[in-house]
Structure 1
């Protein structure tokens, strides 16, 4: 059970270098002009902030050519080609077309995009940043001729015209405006978290119409954690046990840049957010995001007393593993990385004692990462040396339930036990098609 944790965020996987510079066959400075190249470079950075590559580049696919499958409550959709290819991409888009798709979820031909595209967040992106993003996608990305694939959603749920009414009900138009009484760093952080970073897309609970329950800090549900596609995206509020309440500003900034700190390690979808987006942020922007997140009041907690570390009962169980089924599994498969004391070897190997994602009521992320492992964190081009492996082929449902129940009770974590039926359900949904 290496790296059993997650922190901020939400989205999928691809490599950072794809958007760090213009591809060799993209437009050159002589073609677009020196001033335009500055705009293109600015757009490249903004595309990293928006984590565009994570969704629009399929594994082993060409940058931004689409094809990545995404599961929704209605069925599977496939992300579109956003390279400047005139036939299959967005090469025929004007800047106005691009802005409308980005901020309103309406394609050039007038069809509505599914809100899996986080346009309710991108609606807050200002005009200057839209212009820079357009310049990047038109002049800094190589065109790829790759046809878009139709969704697997069945009729009548695949009809798009009802999305007009969804937008009327849930889309708040208008770029972000600075909040009076807040300083420059706070407002910059709010703009990034609510807009380009679209953190709420994963970390905010959704309503019955799949709308985010809140789009900014004025709603108590904002960034309070949410279940999405087999993972529980972490609570990013100041909640003391399951949120960021025990994280210092420096620890949060470290997590954004490296994907790990003494509290947690990124896994699942958050791995790609670190790989493709947050590690590339400027120090100033990382500090702004941290300033904003650390200002959010506690929300979405369990109401439990503040966590305090106590290893004694767990140590007794591990001294006599034959008396505890979960302790037996932990001793055989987990202890060498996460330790008898549950502290792991942070930041290389995640702690389990007091870990926010261990303490949270919903155990989906713990089950998922134990079954399926997680991808490598790749920081400055160097993969993490100890990625969490998957145990789906090694441990049965009851064994995984036993060891996770042991972990969630251990070291005074005090989290609910895990049942074998929960493991079986996630095994079926995440292993399908593998």
Structure 2
């Protein structure tokens, strides 16, 4: 065994100690002090804070199905292992009951805990950073006085030793989360409001923007790059592009987007998984003006560079074969047996009940993760007062790997769909991913729908 010279060992230990010491100081450079005095008992301020917390979708990440609101415990998968959201109720022992406004503001906007430790970037403070202190003050009043305190200890992360050290996050923040302010792209007040909601409290980029080598969002605004909101794979789902290409929002109207944000559905589409949670806990509560502002802003985004605004025409020969009972592949047999009763022979589903598969970019997109995961794990629609019932898709985990690949390939390439081929190894990998996914109640499926209008609008 090679022996390291004593001088190298001492230098290594000294370097590590220096890096650790500097990391203790870096968070203090991010924190701020505010002159705002917050009356946490002001009913108007509490109500304002409740609305802002809805726009920031705090409850979705800091709650679990069947658990207490804001008490934490939701698992979030990272390449290094699962971390869990924290208790942000005003409980003084396990929550944030002892936080001052400055403590709360620094955690929300700058990613620094009360103990001066850096927060994991699963908390979207790079987005929240552009929120004005006055809005965060209103949220503070809401969390201190409008949320029930819940005594629920926080769960430790499942990252392995050494990799679970928190102090290196201070360097991550210095490199990937510099201080920034909101800069409107336009003088149009409506579009500026939409941009702010998308870029800031809505933190849409957390799911819909690709991550870089340090797991950082590669762009935090449209001004940074046209890669902003251009789609990403997160937690095993494909979060679609929200830009102007065909796989994005090219043929969506502003009114359709407003309807989707408000209800989680249109006549053609339905939200699942993380997007269902966003609708259920956040966007359904937003004002019509704010929903319109977000939708109008998204429609101004140019296509992702190199991505087509349209796709090549393809004749639908699938529908007639299914209607005639012509099953010329294993995939067609499986589709007829397990899928057709809901999604229909023409793949267009049922308005506001079953989403379309034909023309749905979540089905035929370059990444098949979403369709594989929803096939294996199922999902449900968001519950809102705008529709009488929320429907659930069953899981088909008992199908063999070969059969899952067959039916997924059939769906991805039938009607007018044109997707790449999925193989058995892809199914095996998804099963393995799902087997490692922490469970806290019921796992939800993703949005297979936001682009499903593409098929209907081409007719």
Hey, what does 2:428 align to over in structure 1? 424
CA deviations 1:52-83 (Å, max 9, x no partner) are 11111122111111122221111111111111
C-alpha distance in structure 2 between counterparts of 1:208 and 1:359, whole Å: 27
CA deviations 1:239-267 (Å, max 9, x no partner) are 12x11101111111111111122453211
Hey, what does 1:170 align to over in structure 2? 176
Q: Would the aligned equivalents of 1:309 and 1:353 in 2 still touch at CA under 8 Å?
A: no
Hey, what does 1:407 align to over in structure 2? 411
Q: Would the aligned equivalents of 2:268 and 2:348 in 1 still touch at CA under 8 Å?
A: no
Q: Would the aligned equivalents of 1:261 and 1:347 in 2 still touch at CA under 8 Å?
A: yes
List structure 1 runs of 4+ shifted beyond 4 angstroms: none
Hey, what does 1:68 align to over in structure 2? 74
Q: Would the aligned equivalents of 1:377 and 1:383 in 2 still touch at CA under 8 Å?
A: no
Structure label with greater radius of gyration: 2
- Normalising by the residue count of structure 2, what TM-score does the alignment of the two structures yield? 0.83
CA offset at residue 149 of structure 1? 1.8
1:81 aligns with 2:87: yes
1:270 aligns with 2:281: no
C-alpha distance in structure 2 between counterparts of 1:121 and 1:224, whole Å: 16
Written as runs of structure 1 = structure 2, the 5 A alignment for 1:275-290 is 275-290=280-295
CA offset at residue 303 of structure 1? 3.8
Residue in structure 2 matching 1:42, options 48, 61, 71: 48
Q: Would the aligned equivalents of 1:377 and 1:384 in 2 still touch at CA under 8 Å?
A: no
Aligned partner of residue 413 in structure 2, secondary structure: helix
CA offset at residue 302 of structure 1? 4.9
Describe the shift of the 1:385–1:67 C-alpha distance in structure 2 as closer, same or farther (beyond 3 A): closer
Written as runs of structure 1 = structure 2, the 5 A alignment for 1:260-409 is 260-299=265-304, 302-303=307-308, 305-306=310-311, 308=313, 310-316=315-321, 319-380=324-385, 384-393=389-398, 395-409=399-413
1:252 aligns with 2:257: yes
**Higher relative contact order, structure no. (Cα contacts within 8 Å, ≥ 6 residues apart):** 1
C-alpha distance in structure 1 between counterparts of 2:63 and 2:386, whole Å: 18
Describe the shift of the 1:185–1:152 C-alpha distance in structure 2 as closer, same or farther (beyond 3 A): same
Written as runs of structure 1 = structure 2, the 5 A alignment for 1:125-140 is 125-140=131-146
1:57 aligns with 2:63: yes
1:243 aligns with 2:256: no
Hey, what does 1:7 align to over in structure 2? none
Aligned partner of residue 83 in structure 2, secondary structure: strand
CA deviations 1:181-226 (Å, max 9, x no partner) are 4301111011100111000000000001000011011212111110
Structure 1: runs of 5 or more not aligned: 1-30
- Normalising by the residue count of structure 1, what TM-score does the alignment of the two structures yield? 0.88
Q: Would the aligned equivalents of 1:235 and 1:300 in 2 still touch at CA under 8 Å?
A: no
Measured on the aligned residues, the alpha-carbon RMSD in Å equals 1.9
More off after superposition, 317-326 vs 116-125: 317-326
Structure 2: runs of 5 or more not aligned: 1-38, 440-459
C-alpha distance in structure 2 between counterparts of 1:132 and 1:307, whole Å: 50
Q: Would the aligned equivalents of 2:380 and 2:391 in 1 still touch at CA under 8 Å?
A: no
Aligned partner of residue 357 in structure 1, secondary structure: helix
Q: Would the aligned equivalents of 2:321 and 2:327 in 1 still touch at CA under 8 Å?
A: no
More off after superposition, 42-51 vs 67-76: 67-76
Written as runs of structure 1 = structure 2, the 5 A alignment for 1:48-197 is 48-179=54-185, 181-197=186-202
